[in-house]
Each structure stands twice: as structure tokens, then as C-alpha cells.
Structure 1
Amino acid sequence: MMWAVVLIASAVGGCFGSPMGEANTTDGGLAAGIDLPWPEDGQTSVMVEGLGDLGGKGEREPVPIASVTKVMTAYVILKEHPLKGAATGPVIEVDRQAADESSSREESSAPVREGQRFSERQMLELMLIPSGNNIARLLARWDAGSQEAFVVKMNRAAARLGMTHTTYTGASGIEPTTVSTAADQLRLARQVMKNPVLRSIVAKREVTIPGVPGTIVNTNTLLGRSGVIGLKTGSTTPAGGALMWAAEAEAAGRTWLVLGVVLHQSAGSPPATGLQAALDRSRTLIDGVRASLDSLIAARAANEQDR
């Protein structure tokens, strides 16, 4: 059973409060003194719910985040149109723009046809699992009338979450002007994993949706490995590879939720190369954190005794 522990602000301040442009190499985090396999380039932030901030590595300057953007798109959609339990939500019709964009060779998309009707839950699956840019923009238009109006909502949500180094300029992440930091995106990851609907969708390795050909496979190939239960990939040439991830780990007789964000891996390389780098480096880090959990728990206990 997953334990959901809300940390007091002082326990996570190091992870969420790094100034923009400052190199944070685990200073102030529980992982200080513990040899974790941090990625050498880009930027990374990690925490364990119930333990706190493990710190991070890399400059805290905002960088393009590619399709990790879709996590905020889904978050806003579900804030505006919440789903409970197994509810599928309202029906949304595919418009001509989304259908035309489904054949694009320049970006990831979901194969849909004009006039098809899918539930809100199915649309979220089409956006998050195969990373359908066309569906992200369709959801934005459905909710707010235009992508531009929806982006205003995204930035307001980011501000409410304290994501002070984040700027959204589109719903899909294709725009290199959508930028953020690993620490900011980690704030969002915590919120997403508290939402049962989002949590269930990002955990799916594949899905079959009537009207959509074949089996839709998740771009996050770490699912089911190293305890990974989510979250979202991203990759473009400017952004490199990115991964917001959630993993479970067993220690001290309970299950812990480990959350992390890796950004700007092999930036400037082809998207597939960057994504593979983000996946590989994330898995190495996840394995390192899971193997070090007993030491991290001991460090937390020692910190509490010193107070």
C-alpha cells in the first residue's frame, strides 16, 4: 500500500528553492554524502515522499522540456473537468485540425479522424501514452476555445504551484520556448501522483482504444522496470531527452514513492538519442536511489535527532 506523506516546507525547501542559474550538486539534500549516480549533463532533481529532498545536479536555468509539458496540460484539464473513479467524462469530438495533424512527420501524434468521438479519459490516454501533440492542442481548444487561452491557464496553474522558473507557450511541448527546471517540474510530479486518474494513466504500458488502430504503446519504456510506475517522456532536438518519473521502492517495512525529473540530456542530438539518454540515465539513478534507501532513512533519522 502506498503511503502518502506530505512534507513540511522545510523538508523540501532545498529541492524546490534553488535559485535560477545556481549549480546544485546535492548540497542540503538528504543524499549529501551518499554516492548517487547523478547524470553528468543537463539537470536533475529527486525526492522521496516521506523522507524529503535528495537534492539534484546541474544548473537551475530554465530549459526546453518538450513533451513533459503534457503533464501540465493533463493537470489543468482534470482541474477544469475532474474525473472520479472509473468515470470516463464528457465526449470530445476530433476536429479537422487534430485530424490533419495526425499525419505529421515533424512531431509525435495520435492517429485520429475528423468526427471521431472519444471520452475525456481516452483523450488523456491518447495524449499521455503515445505523446500525441495533436491531442494536446485539441484538448486545449476544447477546454479554453484556443491554445493561447489554455496556455494562460497553464501558467496560472504553474504560478499557484510555485513553479517560478517555468513558462508555458503551448500545450504539447513542441515549442522550444516552453521552458522549466527540474525542481519546478518535480513540484508538478508530486501533484500528479496525488491524482488517481492521472496516476493510473501514466502507469499504463499500453492501451487499446476503439477507433484507433493497433495497440498504443507508452513512450516511457521504463514502466515495469526498476519499480517505475510513471510518468512522462519528452524529446526534441533543442530539449534533448527529458523524463519525469515515479518509482516505488521497499525499505523499512513499507513502500516509498521516489519522484524525479531529468532534463536536457544530450541536448542538440536527434530526439531519439536524447530520449534514450534520459531513459538510461534515469534508470541508473533510480536504481541508485532504491539501493540507498536504507542509508537515506538513516540520514533522515540522524537529522531529526540533531534538531
Structure 2
Amino acid sequence: MLSRLSPRTWLLAAAVCAVLAAGTSLVYGGARVQPASWPQARPEPIALGRPPALPWPSHGQAAVAVAGQAGTLRVYGKQRPVPIASVTKVMTALVILRDHPPGGPSIRVDRQAAIESGNRDESTVAITEGQSFTERQLLELMLIPSGNNAARLLARWDAGSEEAFVGRMNTTAAKLGMKNTTYTGASGYEPTTVSTAVDQLKLARQAMKDPVLRDIVATARTTIPGVKGEIVNSNKLLALPGVVGLKTGTSTPAGGALLWAAHPTSGDRDRLILGVVLRQGEPGDALEDRKKAAFVASRRLIVAAQRSGWAKTR
């Protein structure tokens, strides 16, 4: 059949094929015809680990991203500054470790830190005046059971006063691009310390680069000489597969808050999925209920992100 085509028909067919192969349009009968797209000689690579549909909390703020993987940030809720409670201590630890790498002289518990041990309206650790602890031990007392008095003691030791230390916290926040964050204390007890979910993810990326901080926030329980009993981490999600941090926070002004870090359960297990939930729980809820709400919201996000294969190597 093909052998019966005239030379003129062959030439026309060859021209049409050339136009189609070039991906240009063709004028035929006064109308411009756009050829169908043709398969590429080298197909585009398929991007692994596309962002999943995340189960966001019903209110508050949240954000999730894969550390070191551009284009993965996902955000829920209006990003306006809100109280963050003890999530503040992540910045406190970061500044302390920047100013004083562990291994220096012991730190003496002053009278103020000892008196604050008896404060019943905040989270504290039982330490007494004259005791000495290493920097690492005080960081553990601050981050694991969330001791406010340990945070303020470290701030005074580092900068001479908590006020001066707060200045260093805000300077560090500015350098990290945390434009909607203001620190007014080292512990997070003050409701005037505010931030957003997006800003806290910026902090989490930097914090998890420090090996000492990373090791402490992944510690579920420990003991410290001079401190009675076992010290248990306030972050119950460390019991979940892959979860390696980061910090809880709960107060009446802040509600329930949780800054978390987790490795994927498949794919590139060295990657970190980072997330935060703020302002969890209802206004009339007890503090324990607000903390539970932060755990529930975070757990759903962690499991969804891990199962999606989001953090696979691209």
C-alpha cells in the first residue's frame, strides 16, 4: 500500500513528520494545528517523597518540613506571634552551647535557683544552693524535665543576668530569620515570649545540628548525681519509632505546644522531619488536657509524614 504513494505524497508526509518531531504548529487548510506532545527521549525523573496530605489540627498553628530538603515546608494556621511556653528552652540551649562548648568548669547553684525550686506554679527541678553541676547536666535538667530554674541559672551563668542573656536570644533569633519571634525570658514562663510555627522550624533546623543538644532531647530518661530519682522526659512521643526530640511547652496563655523531630521509617532514615504545633487545646481545658492535645496533633502529623515516604532521597 505504501509503495503506491506518489513522490509528492511522500514529500508531504515527510514534512509533516518533521514539523511534529520539532514540536511546532502546522498550518493546514487555513487553521493552525498544534501537534500532540511527544515522549521525551530522556524522561523527566520522578520526584520521590512528594509532600503528603497532612492531618492538620483543628485549630492553632502548625508547620512541618524536611530538614535540608527545599520546597517541603507545609504550614497550617495564621502565622501570628503567640506564647510558646517551654519550647523557648530550645533557643536557651542553643545560645548556651554556642557560648560555652561543654567541658568547662562546674556551675554552682545560686540562692535564687534554689529558692525557685519551690515554685509550685511552674515546672522546676529540685536543686539546692551550693550544689555544682556540669553544663551538660544543667542542660539536661532544663530540657528533659523542663526545669525553669535550671534555664534561668544557665542564663545568669552565661551572660551575668537573665536580661542580658535574653538580648543574646533575640540576636540569635534575628540571625536565623525568626522575624515574628520575641524572647523575654530564658524559660518561657513569661507569656510575652512569643513566636510562630514557621519561626520555630527555623530554630529546630539549627538546633538539631548541635550534637549535644540533639543527644539530650532524644533522651527519654536519665539520672544525675545530686538530683533525687530518675529524670523523665516530658516529651512522651519519644516512645514512637523514629522520634528523636524536641521540646514540649504548656501554659495557660500558650496552651499545648510541641516542637518535634523524627526520622522517616523508610527511605533515607538519616533525614529529619521537623514539625511544631502551637496553641493546642481549648481555652477552658486543664493544662494536662492541652498538653495531651499537642501530643495527639503531633503524633498524627509524625505518622502521616513518616508513612508518606516524604523524606526519601530525591
Structures share fold, TM-score greater than 0.5? yes
CA distance in 1, matches of 2:282, 2:89: 19
1:284 is the counterpart of 2:303: no
Match of 1:27 in 2: none
Q: Please identify the structure whose Cα radius of gyration is greater.
A: 2
Q: Which amino acid aligns with 1:223?
A: L
Cα-Cα RMSD: 1.7
1:58 is the counterpart of 2:58: no
Contact 1:226 1:283 in 2 (8 A): no
User: 1:73-98: per-residue Cα shift (whole Å, max 9, x none)?
Assistant: 00010111023xxx4x3210001111
Q: Which moved more, 1:281-290 or 1:222-231?
A: 222-231
Match of 1:19 in 2: none
Match of 1:236 in 2: 251
Contact 1:242 1:275 in 2 (8 A): yes
1:173 is the counterpart of 2:191: no
Match of 2:19 in 1: none
Distance 1:94 1:111, change over 3 A: same
Contact 1:239 1:267 in 2 (8 A): no
CA distance in 1, matches of 2:152, 2:136: 15
Among candidates 195, 201, 220, match of residue 210 of structure 2: 195
CA distance in 1, matches of 2:160, 2:166: 11
User: 1:195-235: per-residue Cα shift (whole Å, max 9, x none)?
Assistant: 00000000000110000000000000110314111100000
Match of 1:225 in 2: 240
Among candidates 164, 168, 182, match of residue 179 of structure 2: 164
> Structure 2-normalised TM-score?
0.81
Unaligned runs of 5+ in 2: 1-49
Match of 1:275 in 2: 291
User: 1:124-145: per-residue Cα shift (whole Å, max 9, x none)?
Assistant: 0000000000011111111111
Q: Which amino acid aligns with 1:124?
A: L
Among candidates 49, 60, 66, match of residue 42 of structure 1: 60
User: 1:231-269: per-residue Cα shift (whole Å, max 9, x none)?
Assistant: 000000110000010001133354321001111101533
Unaligned runs of 5+ in 1: 1-29, 302-307
CA distance in 2, matches of 1:184, 1:177: 16
Shift of 1:35: 2.2
Match of 2:96 in 1: 77
User: 1:28-49: per-residue Cα shift (whole Å, max 9, x none)?
Assistant: xx63xx4211111110111112
CA distance in 2, matches of 1:261, 1:66: 13
Identity %: 60
